[in-house]
Structure 1
Amino acid sequence: MQPTFLPWLGYFALIDQADRFVFLDDVQFSKQSWQSRNRIKGPNGEVMLSLSVARKPSKPLIMEAKLAENGFEAKLMKSVQACLGKAPHYPLVAEILTEGFAQIPLGLSAVNRSIIAAIAKATGIETPMVLASESGMPGGEKSDRLLAFCETFGASSYLSPVGSYGYLSAQNPFAQSTVTLGFQNFAHPVYPQFFGPFQSHLAAIDALAHVGPEGFLPLVRSGIHPPHSIEDIARMSQ
């Protein structure tokens, strides 16, 4: 998975289910994507939290993307505090974000990975995480490269986010491989929130602030179900 900014609970479900999690940091950075922004819930609806990405280089890989050192993180922290400051575990969220933003001079990927790793450590997710850029794997077609990662790490199966179905159904090298392909089957759990009816698919810090480090992993695991096959996804897409 790409190292996204403040990912949702399903992202941590993928990490928890894996024996090894690979950050795809050597692929193209996409503006206005989850790589640099995410959302939490505020008193008037969704609040978008965005990293300030530097203009140069103009078309970087994720690992090359730089962040503007213009103090944007102070405004972002104020937004988080305004939305989650009264939640019982907000101090932990603030600590994780502060540590993450200390990586701003190192770029987008470093900030995102710091936050993801800190949430995992605080909540008991122990899956080893590695960087695609340090794996020695060459580029190539997305689907072929996924299989190559699995073979390099000796994996017997690959768990994919549902969003990858499009290109994996068009070109599925796993069909001729001993590595089985499954798609994440995650039912978003409900947890206490401020500001009206429950809203799903927010940044995971929303849940962490409310349920805390001890409640986070049980919450994530309550949404995990046996993976879908590619045929299952095809039927659901009809």
Structure 2
Amino acid sequence: MRVTIHQPEHLPWLGLLAKVAASDLWIILDSVPYRKNYFQNRNRVLVNGQPTWLTVPVTAPFGTLIRDVRMCEVPSWRRRYRGRLIQAVSGTRSADRVGDLLSVIDAAPPGGLLADLNLDLADYLLSQFDVKVPMVRSSELHATGTKSELIVNLCRAVGADEYLAGPSGRDYLDLDVFAEHGVTVRFFDFDHPTYAQGRDPFVPCLSAFDAWSRLTPAELPPLLSGYRLRDV
């Protein structure tokens, strides 16, 4: 069984959706410390042709695990967030469907867990790209260790014999640890597709929301097929 292990990003980009789609199981890495000013509580969309951050304010003292990070109900954040999302989708073919995505935001309880919101949004986007891969949270698996040891123990906890790593894994993974436990490591290199975006030049690495808003349902799944699996 092939697994990928990745933190729960907010409104994930196409590369993460593609890596999940290429796996048999997504282990959601929520048992490690939250990383400030990264993609766990924000992502970019195009607003009036410009890359713009959509951000969820959070309460996360240093060392807080991702599973414990809560949304911070600062005044009007939901109104601002909704406004930017509506602006981003304005004039696209999915403008009349943005209510489905907004309902996911609205359903998140005040002060609720950020990981819950992120996974609800990921579920929605994955379904739009016709990806049906089961998920399990690392916090449910009770694996121990750090870095490569933790990843190997998570693979062993679910009976995986292959780990699908991102390209940056080449810089930090200890492949000998995986080999000792019979887990093959393969590296996932994603070739970002281009599509009609309404601007020039094309802006890559936005939230997958951008592609969802501009393309037909039938055009979405092929966007995830442009990748290569490498052993080194």
Normalising by structure 2, report the TM-score. Answer: 0.89
Structure 2 SS opposite 1:202 = coil
Aligned counterpart in structure 2 of residue 152 of structure 1, from 138, 153, 157: 157
Residue type matched to 2:135 in 1?
M
Instruction: Return the offset for 1:90.
Output: 3.1
Task: Report what 2:117 is aligned to.
Answer: 111
Q: 1:52 aligns with which of 39, 57, 64?
A: 57
In structure 2, what is the Cα distance between the partners aligned to 1:176 and 1:93? Answer: 48
User: Which residue identity is paired with 1:66?
Assistant: R
How many residue pairs were aligned?
A: 225
Question: Is 1:126 aligned to residue 128 of structure 2?
Answer: no
Counterpart amino acid of residue 212 in structure 2: L
* Aligned positions of 1:71-220 closer than 5 A: 71-105=76-110, 106-138=112-144, 140-169=145-174, 172-220=176-224
Q: Secondary structure at the match of 1:168?
A: coil
Identify the residue that residue 41 of structure 2 maps to in structure 1. Answer: 36
Name 1:224's counterpart in structure 2.
Answer: 227
State the one-letter code of the partner of 1:224: Y
Partner Cα separation in structure 2 for residue 175 and residue 164 of structure 1: 15
Contact kept, 8 Å, 1:97 with 1:115, in 2: the verdict is no
Q: Deviations over 1:41-75 (max 9, x none)?
A: 23352111111112x54541111111112331221
Task: Output the TM-score relative to the length of structure 1.
Answer: 0.87
Query: Residue 187 and residue 135 in structure 1: after superposition, are their counterparts in 2 closer, same or farther (change >3 A)?
Result: same
Per the alignment, residue 64 of structure 1 pairs with: 68
Pick which of 100-109 and 175-184 moved more: 100-109
CA RMSD of aligned residues (A): 1.8
Alpha-carbon distance between aligned partners in 2 of 1:44 and 1:21, rounded to the nearest angstrom: 33
Unaligned runs of at least 5 residues, structure 2: 1-5
Tell me which amino acid in the other structure corresponds to 1:180.
T
CA distance in 2, matches of 1:97, 1:134: 29
Could you tell me which residue of structure 2 aligns to residue 233 of structure 1? none
Per-residue displacement from partner, 1:8-47 (whole Å, max 9, x unpaired)? 1000001101101011011101110111111112335211
Contact kept in structure 1, 2:92 and 2:213, CA below 8 Å = yes
Separation in 2, partners of 1:132, 1:97? 28
Letter in 1 for 2:78: E
- Give the letter for the 1:162 counterpart: P
Hey, what's the Cα distance between the residues in 2 that align with 1:100 and 1:203? 15
Shift of 1:100: 3.5
Aligned-pair distance for 1:192?
A: 1.1
- Classify the secondary structure of the residue corresponding to 2:220: helix
Output the amino acid matched with 1:86. G
- Which one has the bigger strand percentage? 2
Tell me, in whole angstroms, the C-alpha distance in 2 between the residues paired with 1:13 and 1:82.
26
Separation in structure 2 between the aligned mates of residue 93 and residue 177 of structure 1, nearest angstrom: 46
Identity rate, percent: 28
Deviations 1:111-160 (A, max 9, x none): 1010001111233111001111112223x122111111212222121101
Report if the CA contact (8 A) 2:128-2:212 is conserved: no
Worse-superposed segment, 39-48 or 202-211: 39-48
- Of Structure 1 and Structure 2, the greater helix share is in 1
**CA–CA distance in structure 1, aligned partners of residues 176 and 114 of structure 2:** 31
Amino acid in the other structure paired with 1:123: F
Measured in 1, the distance between the counterparts of 2:150 and 2:8 equals 17
